[in-house]
């Protein structure tokens, strides 16, 4: 069994991943969770060095930081129920709360002391020299006291005061020099394609599973229908239908993989690592080798063992049709993965689409038997175009373009050749151009589905805040001046509502 990636390893990789690029503001949420104290100290030390050397602003939320880590920060923000209890220099935090009537014991960590304030544990830090009635106890009371403090007043003066002209010039130069994407479209697409191919090559379980499935199912079909009777059009059409269905619906198993890749895409696209089009194209390109090999192996086994027409042209067209069918349905299930909120929605949608594809493919129910109000499903169904094209590829061969075949005079009995009779049995058109129409339709469907995937990923992403709770009680009114420090945990004030 292959060992997985631990939570700490994932956290370190994500932290390093997000460090790329010249970002002037970095915001990190609980990066110490899952890390030991030494690793946390090293990471925070590095962030402090980056902030000092490159004049960046780095905001980090930590869960119970150690004293050594806490001492690395210049400023500290204490939030409670969405209220700002304190925001100012770290060195002034103890003196500020001492003036409010709280004393940190000598052997108590400053961070733990600050976290206990505003909770039922704060009574142990109260000093007797301060009247009990004047000591804040709730988050809203702490916020009210803070807005009346000198630290808050100095901060508001800095925020609302005039900005030096040299800082404005530096700001314009710095932001004008930062493009939306650091890499060009071609370069970023090339990098993402290489990454997708590498991820695919490393997924040996997936590749081995697909290889075993393709070979096994190919041999199963071929041995069951070995050297079929060419005059039995129902049998021939059934094999064609099953071949198209296997190649098409076998791609449904990739939906969980697509959903997992989408989550990584959301994270990296938020940081403008690459364009959405680069990600969609990389998925398209990475599927081509797999689709080509699957179609070649499965198609070769089926074609020669079952006994289709023995011409190289018909064989190559058969393989090409399976290949574009594979790509088109891979793109379809990729689109469902992009357009669905999660796997619980994508799977039922895929099952419904499979039902429609199979039902209106022209084999289970022939074209003329489909009600007029559902006939559009037949013409829009990629599977029906695949079945129709492969049927025309088989029976339009010169071998079947004869009146007499195996002692039966089809022209005398049915006023058509043997090939035309076999096709019309399932209401398939006899003109050979329907073969090329099918290939073009599959290619167009592939492009359309990938474009729809791009639109879903670019304009309708299923992203939302995690671990967010809303306070049902409005415990006081926050001032508009400090609106920038409100978090999703805070309740809206009357003015905001």
Residue 476: is its pLDDT beyond 50?
A: no
Beta-sheet pairing, 408-409 with 404-405: antiparallel
3-state secondary structure of 433: helix
pLDDT greater than 90 at residue 212: yes
Pair 214, 90 in one domain? no
465 domain residue, yes or no? no
- Would you state the pLDDT for residue 479? 44
Q: Higher-confidence residue: 401 or 128?
A: 401
Q: Between the CA atoms of 206, 207, 209 and 210, what dihedral angle is there, to the nearest 10 degrees?
A: 110
Domain boundary among 128, 159, 176: 176
Alpha helices in 136-184 (DSSP H): 139-147, 150-160, 165-176
Largest CA distance in the chain: 117
DSSP at 76: E
Cα-based angle 117, 119, 123 (whole degrees, multiple of 5): 70
pLDDT over threshold 60, residue 465: no
* Rg of the chain on CA atoms, in Å: 33
pLDDT > 50? residue 375: yes
**Residue range 196-218: mean pLDDT, rounded:** 90
Shared domain for 273 and 170, answered yes or no, is: no
What CA–CA distances, in Å, run from 227 to 246, 310, 379, 456?
A: 20, 12, 31, 46
Counting every residue, how long is the chain?
Answer: 497
Q: How far apart are CA 432 and CA 400, in angstroms?
A: 13
Question: For residues 318 and 295, what is the distance between their CA atoms, to the nearest angstrom?
Answer: 9
| CB-neighbour burial class of residue 401 (10 A; exposed 0-12, middle 13-18, buried 19+) | middle
Final residue in a domain of this structure, among 176, 203, 229:
176
- Band of pLDDT at residue 1, cut at 50, 70 and 90: low
The residues facing 79 across adjacent strands are 84
265 and 396 part of one domain = yes
* Of the residues 112, 147, 176, the one at which a domain ends: 176
How far is it, in rounded angstroms, from Cα 496 to Cα 493? 5
Q: Which one-letter DSSP state was computed for residue 102?
A: B
| pLDDT beyond 60 at 489 | no
- pLDDT of 409-449, one tens digit each? 878 787 888 888 888 888 888 888 899 999 999 999 999 99
Domain assignment present for 319: yes
Give the lowest-confidence range in 179-183, 316-320, 344-348, 481-485. 481-485
How far is residue 313 from each of residues 24, 61, 309, 393, 397, measured CA to CA in Å? 61, 65, 10, 10, 10
Using an 8 Å Cβ cutoff, are 61 and 28 in contact?
yes
pLDDT of residue 401: 80
Residues 340 and 305 in one domain: yes
pLDDT band with cut points at 50, 70 and 90 for residue 32: confident
- pLDDT confidence tier of residue 480, bands split at 50, 70 and 90: very low
Q: Which residues pair with 29 in a beta bridge?
A: 61
| Same domain, residue pair 239 and 344 | yes
Percent of the chain residues topping a pLDDT of 90: 34
Does residue 478 carry a pLDDT above 70? no
Supply the CATH number for residue 159's domain. 3.40.50
Give 139-163 pLDDT, tens digit per residue: 888 899 999 999 999 989 888 888 7
Kindly state the helix (H) or strand (E) to which residue 281 belongs, with its residue range.
helix 276-306
Residue 328 lies in a domain: yes
pLDDT digits (tens, 9 = 90+) for 316-350: 999 999 999 999 999 999 999 999 998 999 999 99
Question: CA 390 to CA 383: how far, in whole Å?
Answer: 11
Q: Is the pLDDT of residue 468 over 60?
A: no
Same domain, 144 and 222: no
Are 302 and 216 part of one and the same domain? yes
Token pair for residue 159?
A: 């925020």
Range of the domain at 414: 185-458
Residues 154 and 190 in one domain: no
User: Are 121 and 263 within one domain?
Assistant: no
Residue 171 shares a structural domain with residue 200: no
- C-alpha dihedral, 253 to 254 to 259 to 261, nearest 10°: 150
Identify whether residues 81 and 222 lie together within a single domain.
Answer: no
pLDDT exceeds 80 at position 356: yes
Three-state DSSP at 75 gives strand
3-state SS, residue 27: strand
Tokens of 8: 């700490």
Residue 496 pLDDT > 50, yes or no?
A: no
Span 341-370, average pLDDT: 91
Per-residue pLDDT at 173 = 67
Residue 258 lies in a domain: yes
DSSP 5-33: --HHHHHHHHHHHHT-S--SEEEEESTTT
Asked if the structure places residue 29 within a domain, the reply is: yes
Number of domains in the chain: 2
Supply the mean pLDDT for the chain.
84
Tell me if 242 is assigned to some domain.
Answer: yes
85 domain-assigned = yes
> 123 pLDDT band (50/70/90 cuts)?
confident
> Confidence band (pLDDT; 50, 70, 90) for 452?
very high
Q: Environment class of residue 25 by beta-carbon count within 10 Å: exposed (0-12), middle (13-18) or buried (19+)?
A: exposed
Question: Mapped to the 3 state alphabet, what secondary structure does 186-229 carry?
Answer: HHHHHHHHHHHHHHHHHCHHHHHHHHHHHHHHHHHHHHHCCCCC
The percent of residues above 70 in pLDDT, for the chain, comes to: 89
Which pair of structure tokens corresponds to residue 194?
Answer: 């290489």
The sign of the CA dihedral 360, 434, 386, 409 is positive
153 shares its domain with 191: no
Summarised one tens digit per residue, pLDDT across range 52-83 is: 888 888 999 888 888 899 999 999 999 888 88
Mean pLDDT calculated for residue range 374-403: 89
Does 257 map to a domain? yes
């Amino acid at each position: 069994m292959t060992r997985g990636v631990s939570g700490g390893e994932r956290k370190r990789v994500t932290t390093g991943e997000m460090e790329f690029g010249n970002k002037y503001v970095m915001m990190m949420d609980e990066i110490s969770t899952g890390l030991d104290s030494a690793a946390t100290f090293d990471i925070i030390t590095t962030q402090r060095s980056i902030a000092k050397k490159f004049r960046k602003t780095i905001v980090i939320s930590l869960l119970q930081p150690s004293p050594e880590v806490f001492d690395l920060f210049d400023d500290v923000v204490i939030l409670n129920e969405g209220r700002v209890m304190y925001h100012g220099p770290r060195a002034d935090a103890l003196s500020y709360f001492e003036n409010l009537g709280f004393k940190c014991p000598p052997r108590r960590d400053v961070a733990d002391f600050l976290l206990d304030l505003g909770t039922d544990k704060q009574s142990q830090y109260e000093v007797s020299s301060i009247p009990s009635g004047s000591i804040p106890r709730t988050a809203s009371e702490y916020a009210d006291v803070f807005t009346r403090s000198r630290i808050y007043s100095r901060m508001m003066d800095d925020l609302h005061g005039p900005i030096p002209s040299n800082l404005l010039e530096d700001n314009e130069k710095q932001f004008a020099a930062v493009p939306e994407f650091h890499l060009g479209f071609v370069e970023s697409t090339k990098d993402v394609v290489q990454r997708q191919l590498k991820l695919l090559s490393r997924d040996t379980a997936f590749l081995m599973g697909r290889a075993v499935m393709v070979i096994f199912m190919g041999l199963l079909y071929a041995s069951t229908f070995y050297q079929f009777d060419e005059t039995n059009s129902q049998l021939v059409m059934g094999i064609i239908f099953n071949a198209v269905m296997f190649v098409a619906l076998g791609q449904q198993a990739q939906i969980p993989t697509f959903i997992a890749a989408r989550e990584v895409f959301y994270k990296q696209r938020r940081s403008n690592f690459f364009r959405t089009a680069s990600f969609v194209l990389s998925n398209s390109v990475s599927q081509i080798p797999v689709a080509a090999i699957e179609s070649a192996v499965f198609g070769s086994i089926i074609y020669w063992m079952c006994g289709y027409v023995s011409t190289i042209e018909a064989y190559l067209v058969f393989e090409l049709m399976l290949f574009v069918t594979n790509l088109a349905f891979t793109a379809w299930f990729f689109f469902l993965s992009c357009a669905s909120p999660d796997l619980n929605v994508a799977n039922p949608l895929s099952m419904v689409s499979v039902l429609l594809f199979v039902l209106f493919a022209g084999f289970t129910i022939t074209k003329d038997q489909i009600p007029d109000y559902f006939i559009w499903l037949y013409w829009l169904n990629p599977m029906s175009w695949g079945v129709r094209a492969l049927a025309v590829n088989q029976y339009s061969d010169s071998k079947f373009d004869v009146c007499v075949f195996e002692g039966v005079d089809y022209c005398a009995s049915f006023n058509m050749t043997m090939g035309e009779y076999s096709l019309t049995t399932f209401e398939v058109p006899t003109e050979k151009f329907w073969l090329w129409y099918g290939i073009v339709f599959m290619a167009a469907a592939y492009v359309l589905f990938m474009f729809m995937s791009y639109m879903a990923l670019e304009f309708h992403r299923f992203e939302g805040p995690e671990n967010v709770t809303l306070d049902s009680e409005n415990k006081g009114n926050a001032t508009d001046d400090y609106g920038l420090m409100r978090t999703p945990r805070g309740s809206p004030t009357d003015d905001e509502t």
